[in-house]
Structure formats: structure tokens, C-alpha cells
Amino acid sequence: MPEDGRFAFLHAAQLIKHILGLKKKHALARFRLLYLWYDAFGKAGYTHRREADAFAEIVRSDGVAFHHTTYQEVITRLLDNREQHPAYVDYLAVRYL
């Protein structure tokens, strides 16, 4: 991961590369970039979340639709609406939560 002096866990350069690629490919269309990551306990997880929040604020100020969430948050939402695939959602919850 490049040393950018600001982010220890978030790879901002990679995310910016994706944003630039989306802007080039979809110049007139709207797009949304989702950063999906696995949360960790402790200081590292806390720092990573703060970095994702800070990056989101920066790119949103430039008009980029950027959102971030964790796998744990996605799986928890799936658990609330698991009517279509209950066995698979239960498997995800047992394995990853």
C-alpha cells in the first residue's frame, strides 16, 4: 500500500483510480462507488472506519456518490430480509459474523 501520509488502512489511491475509471467510462451517466470491507475489532478497525468516513467526505465534496459499508453490516441487513434465501443467509451469518 502506498504511503500517503494520511490513511494507514484505506487504499485511497486505488479508490481514486476506480473513481477516475468510472468517470471516464460513464462521463454523462451517474454512478455510485461502494467500498465494501471486513471490519475488525480494536484500534485497527476503528481507524479504518474513520478513514473510510474521511475519504467519503472528501470525494462527496467533489460530487462523487461514494458509500462504504462492512460485510458484517450487509449480512445483518440480509438477516432482516432473508425470505428468499434463508439457508444461504444463515450460512453467511454463521461463517462471517
The verdict on residue 6 lying in a domain is no
> Cα separations (Å) of 18 from 5, 28, 32, 42, 64?
20, 16, 11, 29, 11
Look at the chain and report how many structural domains it folds into.
1
Distance, in Å, from the CA atom of 88 to the CA atom of 91, rounded to the nearest integer, reads 5
Contact 30, 63 (CB under 8 A): no
The verdict on residue 42 lying in a domain is yes
The verdict on residue 94 lying in a domain is no
Per-residue pLDDT reduced to its tens digit, 29-84: 788 999 999 999 999 999 999 999 999 999 999 999 999 999 999 999 999 988 88
The verdict on residue 87 lying in a domain is no
Distance, in Å, from the CA atom of 34 to the CA atom of 62, rounded to the nearest integer, reads 16
Residue span of the structural domain in which 17 resides: 12-68
The verdict on residue 20 lying in a domain is yes
Distance, in Å, from the CA atom of 2 to the CA atom of 96, rounded to the nearest integer, reads 29
**Averaged pLDDT for residues 15-25:** 92
Per-residue pLDDT reduced to its tens digit, 51-66: 999 999 999 999 999 9
Q: What is the pTM of this model?
A: 0.83
